[in-house]
């Protein structure tokens, strides 16, 4: 047992509903608080001095100076296992070149596939761990990581095995997702349907066998996979026992409906979602995940987060960190910016990066500072929690705790 504190403010996010609008008045803020931890879990959160007097011989980990503490963040959508770099795509896009021109000059998703296929396992593992450490430094301790730059049996398995190996070398929780249906690779002989069958018959059974992932993702978009073939594919992956998440409505609407219809854990992107589909999502348990990093990377509009919350959806916010559309990788900055454009309350943003994004990954054991939950939290050297979003990412996390233990820097 260990008592950690005192913190100027403990923002617990306790008792907030899973879906819909939140006001900042609903936030529970414990002044001069402490967190009692037993065996990786939160035992109790309360006034530091009271907890101290209630537990006479408890070990105390003293927090120096004024710090506030929040539940650690959960980034529920990333593509951080990749080789190469797409800075030239970014420069070309900003110079006015079209998607097609960029692809023709050797850019786009296909170029990341080639770089990832050509990268050695050591190199991929090293850069993946470096990116994980960057996220941990931001206070993110649960990270979803997709495959999707391998796009054949050998290379998709290579990616997922590397993600599994990274899990054995980090204290953060990694949630691996199989995104073999990112794009039909140029070297695949056959149509989309044949490629989706190849995933079902050749890739997913091995993913299961080696216990590499229990989640499947697909990019439903004009330039990738079409709605009907995608729905059929997803229902089959469900029969194989996979959970589902979907890249939906990024440029054209319609696919978030499919995500809901197949019972996906989340529908992510949603920049182009129309009002009727917002209502449809809001009636479901499919988490609507905004990816402001992709809007910022591409110069496209933001996900209608305000409308989604007003309709009663479960809104998560994730980074989408990838070499193409979202190269920044700073969820705190991105969520703060989304808040200014979409008019989100602090409570809505914090919920979207913690227990709501955890729910999108099927994890209900984290994301709030509450008895019995995983003791992952992040502190900032400031006297007011509002400064975290106000500073738009420039206020750095001071201490990150995983299972109640401070992560060494």
Residues that bind ligand NIG (CB under 6 A): 79, 109, 112, 219, 247, 250, 294, 320, 322-326
For residue 35, list its beta bridge partners.
4, 45
Is 320 a binder of Fe ion (CB under 5 A)?
yes
How far, in Å, CA of 403 to CA of 41, rounded? 6
How far, in Å, CA of 79 to CA of 320, rounded? 6
CB of 99 to ligand NIG, least distance (A): 10
Query: Please, what is the angle between helix 153-167 and helix 109-118, to 10°?
Result: 70
CB of 248 to ligand NIG, least distance (A): 10
Is 376 a binder of Fe ion (CB under 5 A)?
no
> Please, which residue, 67 or 286, has the CB nearer to ligand NIG?
286
Is 217 a binder of Fe ion (CB under 5 A)?
no
CB of 245 to ligand NIG, least distance (A): 11
Which of the choices Fe ion, ligand NIG, none does residue 345 contact, using the CB cut-off of 5 to 8 A by kind? none
How far, in Å, CA of 409 to CA of 394, rounded? 18
Task: Give strand ranges (E) for 214-318.
Answer: 215-219, 243-248, 266-269, 287-290, 315-317
CB of 323 to ligand NIG, least distance (A): 6
CB of 201 to ligand NIG, least distance (A): 24
Query: For residue 100, what are its two tokens?
Result: 């097609």
Give, as ranges, the residues between 115 and 174 that touch Fe ion (CB under 5 A). none
CB of 379 to Fe ion, least distance (A): 30
How far, in Å, CA of 302 to CA of 337, rounded? 10
Site string (279-318) toward Fe ion, x via CB under 5 A: ----------------------------------------
How far, in Å, CA of 350 to CA of 267, rounded? 19
> Please, which residue, 325 or 399, has the CB nearer to ligand NIG?
325
How far, in Å, CA of 278 to CA of 168, rounded? 39
Query: Please, what is the angle between helix 153-167 and helix 121-138, to 10°?
Result: 50
Is the separation of the CB atoms in 33 and 45 below 8 Å?
A: yes
Is the separation of the CB atoms in 79 and 320 below 8 Å?
A: yes
Q: Which residue is nearest to Fe ion (CB)?
A: 320
Q: Which residue is nearest to ligand NIG (CB)?
A: 324
> Please, which residue, 43 or 268, has the CB nearer to Fe ion?
268
Is the separation of the CB atoms in 118 and 83 below 8 Å?
A: yes
> Please, which residue, 152 or 320, has the CB nearer to Fe ion?
320
CB of 97 to ligand NIG, least distance (A): 15
Which of the choices ligand NIG, Fe ion, none does residue 379 contact, using the CB cut-off of 5 to 8 A by kind? none
């Amino acid at each position: 047992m260990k008592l950690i504190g005192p913190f100027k403010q403990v923002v617990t996010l306790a008792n907030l509903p899973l879906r819909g609008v939140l006001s900042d008045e609903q936030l529970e803020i414990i002044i001069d608080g402490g967190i009692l931890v037993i065996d990786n879990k939160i035992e109790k959160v309360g006034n530091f001095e009271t907890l101290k007097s209630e537990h006479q011989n408890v070990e105390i980990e003293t927090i120096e100076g004024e710090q506030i503490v929040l539940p650690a963040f959960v980034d529920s959508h990333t593509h951080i296992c990749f080789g190469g770099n797409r800075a030239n795509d970014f420069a070309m896009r900003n110079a006015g070149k079209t998607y097609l021109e960029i692809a023709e000059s050797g850019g786009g998703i296909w170029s990341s596939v080639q770089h990832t296929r050509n990268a050695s396992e050591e190199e991929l593992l090293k850069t993946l761990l470096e990116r994980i450490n960057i996220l941990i430094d931001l206070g993110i301790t649960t990270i979803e990581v997709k495959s999707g730059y391998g796009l054949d049996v050998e290379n998709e398995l290579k990616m997922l095995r590397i993600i599994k190996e990274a899990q054995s070398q980090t204290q953060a929780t990694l949630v691996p997702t199989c995104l073999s249906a990112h794009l039909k690779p140029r070297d695949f002989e056959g149509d989309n349907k044949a490629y989706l069958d190849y995933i079902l018959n050749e890739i997913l059974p091995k993913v299961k066998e080696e216990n590499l992932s229990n989640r499947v993702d697909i990019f439903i978009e004009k330039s990738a996979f079409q709605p009907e073939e995608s729905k059929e594919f997803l229902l089959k992956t469900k029969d194989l026992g996979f959970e589902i998440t979907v890249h939906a409505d990024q440029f054209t609407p319609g696919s978030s409906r499919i995500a809901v219809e197949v019972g996906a854990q989340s529908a992510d992107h949603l920049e182009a979602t129309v009002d009727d589909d917002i209502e449809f999502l809001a009636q479901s348990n499919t988490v609507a995940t905004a990816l402001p990093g992709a809007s910022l990377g591409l110069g496209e509009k933001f996900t209608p987060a305000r409308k989604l919350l007003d309709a009663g959806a479960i809104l998560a916010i994730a980074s989408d960190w990838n070499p193409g559309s979202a190269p920044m990788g700073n969820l705190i900055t991105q969520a703060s910016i989304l808040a200014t454009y979409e008019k989100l309350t602090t409570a809505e943003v914090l919920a979207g990066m913690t227990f709501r994004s955890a729910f999108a990954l099927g994890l209900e054991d984290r994301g709030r500072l509450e008895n019995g939950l995983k003791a992952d939290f992040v502190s900032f050297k400031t006297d007011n929690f509002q400064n975290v979003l106000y500073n738009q990412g420039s206020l750095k996390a001071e201490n990150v705790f995983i299972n109640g233990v401070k992560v060494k820097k």
